[in-house]
Amino acid sequence: MKTITVAIPVLNQMEIGKTSLFCFDQLTSPACKFLLIDNGSQQNYERFTKVCLSSKWRYVRNDTNTGLLKAIQQAYLLCETDILILTHNDVWIYSSYWDKIISNLFEDIYMLGGVGLFGSKGCGKDGMRLNTFGSLIDIEGHGRKMTMPWEPAVCFDGFFMAYSMEMLKSVKNKCRICGGIYAGKCDVCQGKQIYPGFDQRYYMHHIYDLDSSLTSIDTGYKNVVANIPCHHLSGLTANNDAYKEVGNDVHQRNGDLFRAKWTTKLGVSVNDDHTYTWGQ
């Protein structure tokens, strides 16, 4: 059985986070491990982890808000299992031992790089998802409700993404310091803080999920969406009036980076035989 670590970055919003985290704790197998990465919350997630959750959890605190991208890279560096799952503290999964379903997919599907619970069959030349589908219980208006146990996919939504650590370790990104290509240390500037995993040039959040999804299939792996009933509350930050202008700027900045990075390959789709067509 493939081993799993579930990483959940948090920043306050504990009134919602408590129920989500408790649900994760109760509905996963004893072998599943958790990383709760606290980005400087003013609320006591550490006490909640110790008192209310099982021994499956490891609490890691950053004194300040390092941002989502640094938090998920931190999870990558701390992960010692075969699979790393990245999710949010406003997600509920309604299936007992759902982690075993994810593990079995990685066992059964050759060269599986990533698994999501909501995704798309394509990514257009403009960087937009095409033909979205998934297992959200309230999917109406967002895409097609899937009926098969799993389906081939191109991109995932960042609220839930499971990746093979073997795949992540093979990734070569551009250095956010000098622009050189790196795997471990930058080949140009030899920066000691540069690692494989997730592209750290993306700012705060947005678009990084499309990037990591495409990275999986670009390195020769496959992506699928699993039919596991779930709910994502979403929009707590993005719909805050004080954040909207900043959020639009972040989305534009990251979108520009994404389109520039994948410019010759965008227009990617998955075929019935689980091969991928690029640049069309």
Q: What is the pLDDT of residues 226-273, one digit of tens each?
A: 999 999 997 555 555 655 555 567 778 888 999 999 999 999 999 999
The model's pTM is: 0.92
* 70-111 confidence digits (pLDDT tens): 899 999 999 999 999 999 999 999 999 999 999 999 999 999
* 140-185 confidence digits (pLDDT tens): 888 999 999 999 999 999 999 999 999 999 998 887 777 777 666 7
Dihedral through CA 11, CA 207, CA 260, CA 274, nearest 10? 140
pLDDT of residue 201: 87
Cα Rg of the chain, angstroms: 18
CATH architecture for segment(s) 4-277: Alpha-Beta Complex (3.90)
* 199-234 confidence digits (pLDDT tens): 988 887 789 999 999 999 999 999 999 999 999 997
pLDDT of residue 166: 97
* 13-35 confidence digits (pLDDT tens): 898 999 999 999 999 999 999 99
278 phi and psi angles, rounded to 5 deg? -110, 150
3-state secondary structure the chain: CCCEEEEEEECCCHHHHHHHHHHHHHCCCCCCEEEEEEECCCCCHHHHHHHHCCCCEEEEEECCCCCHHHHHHHHHHHCCCCEEEEECCCEEECCCCHHHHHHHHHHHCCCEEEEECEEEEEECCCCCEEEEEECECCCCCCCEECCCCEEEECEECCCEEEEEHHHHHHCCEECCCCCCEEECEECCCCCCCCCCCCCCCCCCCCCHHHHHHHHHHHCCCEEEEECCCEEECCCCCCCCHHHHHHHHHHHHHHHHHHHHHCCCCCCEEECCCCCEECCC
pLDDT of residue 189: 73
pLDDT of residue 238: 53
- Domain residue extents for the chain: 4-277
Residue 5 has pLDDT above 90, yes or no: yes
